[in-house]
């Protein structure tokens, strides 16, 4: 990675994420699409976006590890089973995939471009912050009657939730899958560290 290219790349990724995020709110407000159920930044992808933007502005370990695990564990899953009924070239379809794809692209750049990576000490911090998100979202849904984080109902579109038991039992399954996701996305680094350690002996 050439140091001179780092700042333009980070600024470009920041502009894409912010531009798509703001564009969605402006468009939704103008066309009457905005409701209390999607106006607040209370989806996990929103929190992943904030962590990613913070890391793009000021590369650091703590916000990076949140961006890494939340984007790969949540945002990537959102792209595989998108919670959108729209097809290309509908503008909401384009915004959805550019937004989610931008988060993934930014995290991949931070990982392979800036050489940031998760460490063993990252795991408890990510777990704690994930439970903070869960608590904040649960309270929001309770007070406003919304369904952020799909904590009150499964997504309408086809997803992994269809394989889970009915509400509220599936919430426990999601929590378990969250732990599994953290383990899966940390596994490559764990294996690489073990290989390097064995070669150094």
- Closest CA relative to residue 72, chosen from 92, 96, 93, 51: 51
CA–CA dist 80, 124 (Å, integer): 27
| Cβ-Cβ contacts under 8 Å for 148 (sequence gap 6 or more) | 37, 40, 42, 43, 137, 140, 141
Candidates 50, 53, 57, 48; CA nearest to 79 is 48
- pLDDT exceeds cutoff 90 at 121: yes
The average pLDDT across 134-162 equals: 91
pLDDT digits 0-9 by tens, 7-34: 999 999 999 999 988 888 888 888 887 8
Query: Would you state the pLDDT for residue 199?
Result: 79
Please report the pLDDT score of residue 85 as a whole number. 58
Q: Is the pLDDT of residue 115 over 70?
A: yes
Task: Report yes or no: 193 and 130 within 8 Å, Cβ to Cβ.
Answer: no
Q: What is the model's pTM?
A: 0.89
How many distinct structural domains can be found in the chain? Answer: 1
Given a cut of 70, whether residue 165 has pLDDT beyond it is: yes
Q: Which two tokens stand for residue 9?
A: 């790349």
- Burial string for 159-190 (b: 16+ CB within 10 Å, else e) reads bebeebeeeeebbeebeebbeebbeebbeebe
13 contacts 114 by C-beta, under 8 angstroms: no
Q: Which domain holds residue 114?
A: 3-200
Q: Which of 124, 103, 113 is nearest to 50 (CA)?
A: 103
Give the chain's end-to-end CA distance (angstroms, integer). Answer: 30
């Amino acid at each position: 990675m050439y140091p001179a290219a780092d700042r333009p790349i980070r600024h470009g990724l920041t502009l894409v994420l912010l531009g798509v995020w703001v564009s969605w709110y402006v468009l939704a407000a103008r066309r009457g699409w905005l409701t209390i159920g999607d106006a607040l930044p209370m989806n996990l992808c929103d929190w992943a976006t904030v962590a990613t933007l913070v890391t793009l502005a000021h590369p650091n370990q703590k916000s990076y590890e949140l961006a890494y695990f939340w984007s790969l564990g949540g945002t990537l899953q959102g792209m595989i089973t998108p919670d959108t009924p729209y097809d290309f070239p509908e503008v909401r379809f384009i915004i959805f995939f550019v937004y989610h794809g931008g988060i993934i692209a930014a995290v991949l750049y931070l990982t392979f471009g800036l050489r940031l990576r998760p460490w063993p000490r990252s795991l408890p911090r990510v777990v704690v912050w994930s439970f903070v998100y869960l608590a904040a979202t649960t309270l929001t849904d309770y007070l406003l009657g919304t369904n952020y984080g799909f904590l009150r109902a499964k997504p309408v579109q086809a997803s992994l939730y269809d394989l889970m038991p009915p509400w509220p039992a599936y919430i426990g399954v999601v929590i378990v899958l969250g732990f599994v996701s953290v383990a899966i996305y940390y596994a490559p680094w764990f294996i690489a560290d073990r290989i390097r350690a064995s070669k150094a002996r």
